[in-house]
Structures are given as C-alpha cells and as structure tokens.
C-alpha cells in the first residue's frame, strides 16, 4: 500500500505552499485522480485537498458582462446556472454531454481542465507509456488506437484530451486564472494544454504548485449566444467520452458571418481551435457549402495515428453539422442527454 499525507489548507496561499514538496498534488473531487491512484498510475506522496478553499465555489457575473467561475464550482451547478447558460449555451451543452449525472454533480471546473487522457495503455501499468513513464515507449502506436489523435500527435504519444467542457472554452477564448509560487497569472485556455512533442508526460504548461482558481469567459463571448452548438459523437448516448466533438458559434449580421468560433474535441492532446477555418468563414454567407469548405480546411493537416482514419471524416461531418445547427439558431432548450447528432429522430441511436 502506498502511504500518503492528506492536508486540508485554509487558504489558496496555504495550498500553494503545501505543494512545495516533490510528490504533492492537489485533490479536488477526485473523479479522475482517485481512479488513477487505485490502479497505481498516480502515486502521490501528499494530497492537498482544495475542495473547501473559501471563494472558489462562486459563479460571478462581471461588470462588463463576462463571467468568472470559481475552480471548485461543480460541473452540474455551472451547467444549470440560468444566467450562465443564457450567455454561453454551448458551454452548458458541453457540460451536460459529459460523463454521468452523478459525476457531473461531483466533478469540478478546475479538475475538468486537468483530467488526464483516457488512453487505455496509460491506465495499464504493465503497458509501455511515455506519458506515464517517460522514455518507456508507446504501446498505443501498434495497439488498439481507433480513438486516438489525428491532429498534433507525435511518435511519442498519440493520446487525446477527453474533456467536453474545454472545447467550447477554447473556442470562446476563455481565460484560466492560476495561483502559483510567484503569485497570480492568466493563461488563455487555448494555451493551457500542450501537444505531446517529445514530452508527453507534461499535459499542460502549469508548474507543479500552480493551482487553477477560476475560469473567466469574456463578455465578447456572449455575442454568440443565439447561434452556437456543441455536438458530440460517442459510442453510446450517455456516460461516454467523445469519438469526436465540435463547438461552433456564429455572430450573424446582414445575412453574413460577422464572427465565428470553432473548435474540435477528441482529435488531439488539446482542444483544437480551428482558426484557419474561422478566417475562411468571416464575411461569407452561412451556407452548407461554406461550412463544408471550412471543415475541409479544419482537417487539412489531419492524419491517422493508427486505425483511426475514420475520425477525420467524422470530425469533418460533425463540424459541418454543428455549423449548420448554429446557423439555424441555438435551441430554446438543451436536453440533458442529447440524442446522437447523427440521429434523424429525437432520442434515436443512429450512426453516421
């Protein structure tokens, strides 16, 4: 049995100080970390419990119309916050499409950003995995890799980032507030997660004592509220990670696209912002043809990392579908368990 310390600091400052020693990690809801500890993938020497730190459980509307979400806000609490859902419906839609109701009630905003990949070889301590043991190899390269990355991968690691929540956050230029040894700083969410390169063991740009304290959505992101969607393709309708997903948000004016935000999920080690596709669409009419051209550009650099070429076509299709649905208008109500985006009937389990 692995022995570890458990510490419950009274403030953010105390929490940061408590992680100064090697082997210390933050514990939030533990919906990922405790699983990793049970199978021996994570073996911390000290758990610093941040779930009760004062001030991290608030959802605040900022004076300029943006929102600041404390890192310990639970996923379900945020998804069902009426003011937040009205301003950023595709973020609520992404939250509600993740995990199960039980997990959404427990999991935190900060923890969601820092969850580890669901690559099966990462969770199996008998397998070679550069992310778990740097330099050991990557059994996924020649293994079961149908769900692995098609963008931004390297021969060191072909894993994907599993979060739904992070995909619309990347599209909407969310900002992550981090408290570290040198004080507080902001990181654009799109810059938080790393591509693997030669160091897949580092998922993010965070330093060991860095604590995520909040996520901010800028007021400008609310301009997309009436034309935005998050769609997720998965192997079953609930409690499943995405095969691919897409966040699409449009700001329309005079029959044309004034602004657009696009990101793909489960295609890379980070949420994948599609900036070239966005540039193509600005000024264009919101037509299916334009959306198809944008999807071609978004996936132009994609290449299979194994038995996963199908993900490239699925990513194209889900991006086109998300854009078409965003152009039609954000639904007045978002179902807690959306049907497959490729179904033809509400609740049907059709496939692409």
| Residues found near ligand SF4 in the complex (CB under 6 A) | 117, 119, 121-122, 129-131, 138-140, 157-159, 200
10 Å Cβ neighbour count for 248?
34
Of 166 and 257, the one with the shorter C-beta distance to ligand SF4 is: 166
How far, in Å, CA of 178 to CA of 87, rounded?
Answer: 24
Closest distance of CB 127 from ligand SF4, Å? 6
Q: Which is nearer to ligand SF4, 19 or 308 (CB)?
A: 308
Q: How far is the CB of 145 from ligand SF4 (least distance, A)?
A: 7
Other CB atoms within a 10 A radius of the CB of residue 212 amount to: 27
> Which of 122, 241 has the CB closer to ligand SF4?
122
Question: How many angstroms separate the CA atoms of 327 and 178, rounded?
Answer: 35
Q: Looking at 89-171, list the stretches that DSSP marks H as alpha helix, in order from N- to C-terminal side.
A: 89-96, 101-106, 109-113, 120-123, 166-171
Whichever of 293 and 310 has its CB closer to ligand SF4, that residue is 310
The answer to whether 286 touches 207, Cβ cutoff 8 Å, is: no
The answer to whether 220 touches 207, Cβ cutoff 8 Å, is no
Q: Looking at 14-71, which runs of residues are DSSP E strands?
A: 24-27, 46-49, 59-61, 67-70
Q: How far is the CB of 82 from ligand SF4 (least distance, A)?
A: 38
Q: How many degrees, rounded to 5, is the angle at CA 79 between CA 76 and CA 82?
A: 125
Least distance to ligand SF4, CB of residue 151, Å? 14
Closer to ligand SF4 at the Cβ: 93 or 139? 139
Provide the 10 A C-beta neighbour count for residue 350: 11
The dihedrals phi and psi of 4, each to the nearest 5 degrees, come to -140, 155
Q: CB 120 → ligand SF4: shortest distance, Å?
A: 8
Least distance from C-beta 119 to ligand SF4, angstroms?
3
| Cα–Cα distance for residue pair 193/232, rounded to 1 Å | 20
Nearer to ligand SF4, 311 or 321 (CB): 311
């Amino acid at each position: 049995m692995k022995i570890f310390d458990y510490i419950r600091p009274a403030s953010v400052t105390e929490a940061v100080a408590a992680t100064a020693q090697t082997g210390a990690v933050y514990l939030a809801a533990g919906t990922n970390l405790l699983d990793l500890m049970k199978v021996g993938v994570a073996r911390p020497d000290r758990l610093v419990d941040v779930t009760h730190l004062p001030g991290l459980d608030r959802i605040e509307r900022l004076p300029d119309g943006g929102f600041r979400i404390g890192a310990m806000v639970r996923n379900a609490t945020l998804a069902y916050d009426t003011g937040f859902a009205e301003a950023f419906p595709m973020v609520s839609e992404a939250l509600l499409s993740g995990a199960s109701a039980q997990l959404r009630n427990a999991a935190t905003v900060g923890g969601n950003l820092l969850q580890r990949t669901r690559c099966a070889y990462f969770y199996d301590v008998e397998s070679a995995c550069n992310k778990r043991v740097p330099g050991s190899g990557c059994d996924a390269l020649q293994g079961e890799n149908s769900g692995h990355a098609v963008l931004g991968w390297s021969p060191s690691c072909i894993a994907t980032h599993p979060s739904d929540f992070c995909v619309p956050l990347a599209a909407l230029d969310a900002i992550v507030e981090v408290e570290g040894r040198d004080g507080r700083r902001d990181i654009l969410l799109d810059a938080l997660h790393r591509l693997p390169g030669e160091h897949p063991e580092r998922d993010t740009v965070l330093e060991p004592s860095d604590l995520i304290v909040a996520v901010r959505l800028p007021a400008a992101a609310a301009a997309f509220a009436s034309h935005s969607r998050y769609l997720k393709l998965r192997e079953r309708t609930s409690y499943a990670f995405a095969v691919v997903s897409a966040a699409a948000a449009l700001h329309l004016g005079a029959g044309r696209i004034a602004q657009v935000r696009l990101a793909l999920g489960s295609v890379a080690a980070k949420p994948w912002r599609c900036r070239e596709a966005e540039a193509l669409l600005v000024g264009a009419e919101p037509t299916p043809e334009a959306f198809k051209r944008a999807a071609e550009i978004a996936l132009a650099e994609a290449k299979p990392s194994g038995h996963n070429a199908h993900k490239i076509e699925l990513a194209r299709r889900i991006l086109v579908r998300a854009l078409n649905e965003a152009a039609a208008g954000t639904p007045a109500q978002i179902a807690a368990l959306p049907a497959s985006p490729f179904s033809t009937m509400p609740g049907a389990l059709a496939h692409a």
